[in-house]
Amino acid sequence: MVAMGEGTGADGGRTIDLHAHSAVSDGTESPAELVRSALAAGLDAVALTDHDTVAGWHEAMAAARGTSLTVVPGLEISTRHEGLSVHLLAYGIDPSPSTDLARRLVRVRDSRLTRAERMVERLGADYPITWSGVIEVAESHGVTAGSIGRPHIADALVAARVVPHRAAAFEGVLSGASPYYVRYEGIETATAIAAVHEAGGVAVAAHVLSEGRGRRRVQDSQVCELAELGMDGIEIDHREHTEAQRERLRHLAERLGLIRTGGSDYHGSGKPNRLGENLTAPDQFDALMRRVQAPK
Ligand code: AMP
Ligand code: FE
Ligand code: FE
Ligand code: ZN
């Protein structure tokens, strides 16, 4: 399932970015374009981790065939632990639609869709955007069968000249504290970890200390709880973690026996994050991939 063994090999110098999005969710490049960008950035491996969907895997892997790039098949699952939002990166799962995880992800994507429609309804009362307009732009990027989110609503607000770019929309009308904001249903983190394992994959908590407006941070004690539930790793090197936070998380990870990862959280032109700006050490990547079970 997981393509391995390519890259620059045992010298330990492989550049591995375990967090990137395509336009199948809220990135702006198709999976094939993402592969080309990853090659241009000099990466040896990139994980495609679209939100709540594996719909981009096939295209990305086909595009990487015959090149020096390893595509690690992944996704970023929207979960909740004790009322907190936890983005759970999963790698190497069985992508078949019959797993418990796949069934739960269908519900998350459905909930994303209804939620986005309700947000656009609210926004449409005050701003010149429509649901059909949002869907049209999102589908033109390739989100069909993928996963829709606030960034697509942001694109419609940019097109309508309400805001200059996605980030401005997130600072205002799309923020969690905005009256236009509507929640969607994530999976309980404990349930998601179990479902990822059942599907043969590994689970890594993404950017636990990143802070949106009105968003509470995951506490160390909660990272411990997730580790006790069998979570495999934690994303430490991420743009939204300061150097001091990374240092602290590294100690926490060592104490809990968690694998330490890093990634860019690339979203194409949708965010300033550049491919390869944060990386996963080869030994940590190898440890993670050793835990991926062969499909049953
Ligand atoms: P949602 O999952 O629909 O609630 O939207 C959250 C997504 O919006 C995250 O996955 C981020 O990639 C994206 N996002 C959050 N803040 C910003 C920002 N300031 N600029 C661009 N994208 C953002
Ligand atoms: Fe995103
Ligand atoms: Fe995330
Ligand atoms: Zn992400």
Q: pLDDT, tens digit, for every residue of 83-142?
A: 999 999 999 999 999 999 999 999 999 999 999 999 999 999 999 999 999 999 899 888
* Dihedrals phi, psi of 82, to nearest 5 degrees: 50, 45
| Residue 234: strand pairing partners | 205, 260
Average pLDDT for 267-292:
97
- 141 vs 226, which has greater pLDDT? 226
Indicate the pTM of the whole model. Answer: 0.94
Nearest CA to ligand 1 atom 14: 151
**Portion of the chain with pLDDT greater than 70, in percent:** 94
Is 14 close to ligand 1, i.e. is its CB under 6 Å away? no
* CA 100 to chain centroid: 20
User: For the CA atoms of the chain, what is the radius of gyration?
Assistant: 18
Residues, CB within 5 angstroms of ligand 3 (ion)? 87, 206
Ligand approaching nearest to the C-alpha of 49: 4
> Given the structure tokens 């979570």, which residue do they identify?
231
Q: Please, how many CA atoms are within 13 Å of residue 233, restricted to the half-sphere of its CB?
A: 28
Q: Whose CA is nearest to atom 5 of ligand 1?
A: 150
Residue 213 pLDDT > 90: no
Question: Among 51, 147, 163, 170, which is best to mutate for testing ligand 1, by the most ligand atoms less than 8 A from CB?
Answer: 170
Please state, in angstroms and rounded to a whole number, the distance separating the CA atoms of residues 154 and 169.
6
Does residue 52 have its Cβ closer than 6 Å to ligand 1? no
Residues 104, 33, 260, 73, CA torsion sign = positive
- Torsion from C-alpha of 114, 117, 123, 125, nearest 10 degrees: -110
Report how far residue 80's alpha carbon sits from residue 67's, in angstroms, rounded to the nearest whole number: 38
Residue type at position 249: L
Sign of CA dihedral 77, 20, 202, 206: negative
Tell the burial category of 160 from Cβ atoms under 10 Å away from its Cβ (0-12, 13-18, 19+): middle
* Structure confidence by residue, pLDDT tens digits, 7-57: 444 455 899 999 999 999 999 999 999 999 999 999 999 999 999 999 999
What is the per-residue DSSP string for 200-229?
A: T-EEEE--TT---TT-PPPPHHHHHHHHHT
CA of 125 to the centre of ligand 4 (A): 30
Residues 6+ apart with CB under 8 A from 168: none
Amino acid identity of 61? M
186 close to ligand 1 (CB < 6 Angstrom): no
Residue nearest to atom 19 of ligand 1 (CA): 167
State residue 212's pLDDT score. 64
Q: Are 161 and 169 in contact (CB under 8 A)?
A: no
User: Can you give the pLDDT at residue 64?
Assistant: 98
Number of H helices, E strands in the chain: 10, 8
- pLDDT at residue 211 in the model: 79
Tokens linked to 110: 């459905």
